Each structure stands twice: as structure tokens, then as C-alpha cells.
Amino acid sequence: ETGVTQSPTHLIKTRGQQVTLRCSSQSGHNTVSWYQQALGQGPQFIFQYYREEENGRGNFPPRFSGLQFPNYSSELNVNALELDDSALYLCASSGSGGANTGELFFGEGSRLTVL
């Protein structure tokens, strides 16, 4: 069974640029969520995708957008990067089809640094 994989693991961007982060969900899982973890804080929910549609969104501006593909992999796109976007971005998958069971399987994350 393949776990959740994310790429890239580390990247550096400058203010105003755009970034795309990628995630392959765990085998058999159809739901993907993205979280932002700033240094010294807990993960914060960005949004979730189920059956290629956004299925819930946290308190993040529209410049944070995402996609889910038919194979359930996902992308997180952030436009007009700001310094405060520097964080660890975690992808998590679940097989609950959007049902609220809570347990998520996380990838190792993509660490974004914005200079």
C-alpha cells in the first residue's frame, strides 16, 4: 500500500511568485485535504477535495486554489506569494468520501520559504 507522497519537499520562492505543490493520495483514498503549518503552530485547514470538487474551505484567501484529478491526486496552487505564506504544507488523504470520521493520513509535507 502506497502512502501519501508530496512534491517538492522543499522550495524557495520570492514574493509575488506563484507556486504549485503536488500530492498523491494513499491507495484507495478518494478525499484529499490540504493544511498549512506555520512554524511553532498546529496545522490549519486550507480546503478539501472529494470527487474532483472542493468540499470545504478554511479561512484562506482565493489566491489559494486547488485541483483534484480523476486518479485522486491533487495540487495546491498559491498565487501572489507573501512572506507569511512560508510554512510546511501538508496533504492528507482519507477514504471516507467526505464523511466526517476525522482520521487523516498525512504526507511528509512541502516546506515553502518565501523571500
Partner 1 sequence: DQQVKQNSPSLSVQEGRISILNCDYTNSMFDYFLWYKKYPAEGPTFLISISSIKDKNEDGRFTVFLNKSAKHLSLHIVPSQPGDSAVYFCAASALYNAGNMLTFGGGTRLMVKP
- Residues of this chain that bind partner 1 (CB under 8 A): 4, 31, 33, 35, 40-45, 48, 50, 55-58, 90, 92, 94, 96, 98-109
Q: Which is nearer to partner 1, 16 or 61 (CB)?
A: 61
The x, y and z cell numbers of residue 100, run together, are: 466526517
Nearer to partner 1 among residue 21 and residue 92 (C-beta) = 92
Nearer to partner 1, 15 or 72 (CB): 72
* Closest distance to partner 1 from the beta carbon of 46 (Å): 10
Minimum distance of partner 1 from residue 31's CB (angstroms): 6
What CA–CA distance (Å, rounded) separates 37 from 1?
Answer: 26
- Rounded least distance, CB 20 to partner 1, Å: 19
Alpha-carbon distances of 57 from 17, 42, 106, 107, 109, rounded to whole Å: 23, 17, 18, 19, 19
Burial 57-92 (b: 16+ CB within 10 A, else e): eeebeeebbbebeeebbbbbebeebeeebbbbbbbb
104 vs 114, which CB is nearer to partner 1? 104
